[in-house]
Amino acid sequence: MASVASRTGCVELGHGCYAWIAGDAGWGMSNAGLITGRGESLLVDTLYDLRLTETMLDALTPLTATAPIATVVNTHGNGDHWFGNQLVAHAEIIAARGSVADMRQVGPAEMLALTGMDSPAGHFARRIFGRFDYTGIEPALPNRIFDGESVLDIGGTEVRLIDVGPAHSAGDTIVHVPQARTVYTGDIVFAGAAPVVWHGPFTRWLAACDLLLGLDADIVVPGHGPVATKQTVREIRDYLEYVHEQATARFTTGMPVMDAARDIRLGRFADLHESERLAVNVHTVYRELDPALPPLDGPGLFGCMAELCPRV
């Protein structure tokens, strides 16, 4: 696993499974996967823009020449996991119902608007997303929606889809390949970076981690970061549990949400990248505890994260 965990680009996992590892766990630099069977393959996620997706597809050509991509699974509705769909629009594209709802709300046009704002939120968005090109993207939404669980046969290989959302987002699909003891987690797992709880509730994400820990799988392909093991799942679970406890304690004292985000000390989680996501996570906890609190839109959430980033 050590050698696999250090590799980027196309990483062979065994039993016809591959990971596409970005090599940078930062904002928008997402992973994908390929599951090959007899005469066909399944692609797990596309990438954040057309250039990145085309580069990946070109690199996968030696594998897909004899096993063309017939199925695509978008693990969730964040653009870095589906904006490249138009390049594989010939395939059946599958996603959970909640994921499609997210896709309809935030597409490339909304990201162009966010990164074009003259505000702290816009400045922060440009800093983290400036490397991506959202122009020319024609949203290709999934043409097959599933609820709960679904089992696919990809050229003789069993692939299980499990919607564990809402958690990170409104719909979060994990892709399990039992015979390969491999699971593609989407953004339920971040390796080396703090998770961001856009949707919640936290209890659903904790339950998703427990489900992953209970699977007969040794290889974990996270949504961001290097190929991992269940130890990374445990670390994400511990972070979520800690943040929920810390935010809840401050909520009960009446501390305002951003004061709480600034006050929380991350301790052993301080080395995780993108620590500013704590602002979003504390907001999510506060809204769980008081549903009357109004939700923040995208610019509002990015503005809060900008407050925790002195470099913006």
pLDDT at res. 2? 42
Q: What CATH number has the domain spanning 2-242?
A: 3.60.15.10
Task: Collect the ranges in the chain with pLDDT lower than 50.
Answer: 1-2, 311-312
124-160: pLDDT as tens digits: 999 999 999 999 999 999 999 999 999 999 999 999 9
Where in the chain does DSSP place strands (E)?
9-14, 17-21, 32-36, 41-44, 69-73, 92-96, 144-146, 149-154, 157-163, 173-177, 182-184, 219-221
23-36: pLDDT as tens digits: 887 899 999 999 99
Q: Model-level pTM?
A: 0.96
pLDDT at res. 309? 81
**Pairwise CA distance, residues 174 & 152, whole Å:** 13
**Pairwise CA distance, residues 308 & 197, whole Å:** 16
223-251: pLDDT as tens digits: 999 999 999 999 999 999 999 999 999 99
Quickly tell me which residue has 């704590």 as its tokens. Answer: 278
pLDDT at res. 83? 99
Per-residue tokens: 62: 């030696």
CA distances in angstroms from 46 to 86, 256, 300, listed in the order given? 9, 38, 27
pLDDT at res. 310? 57
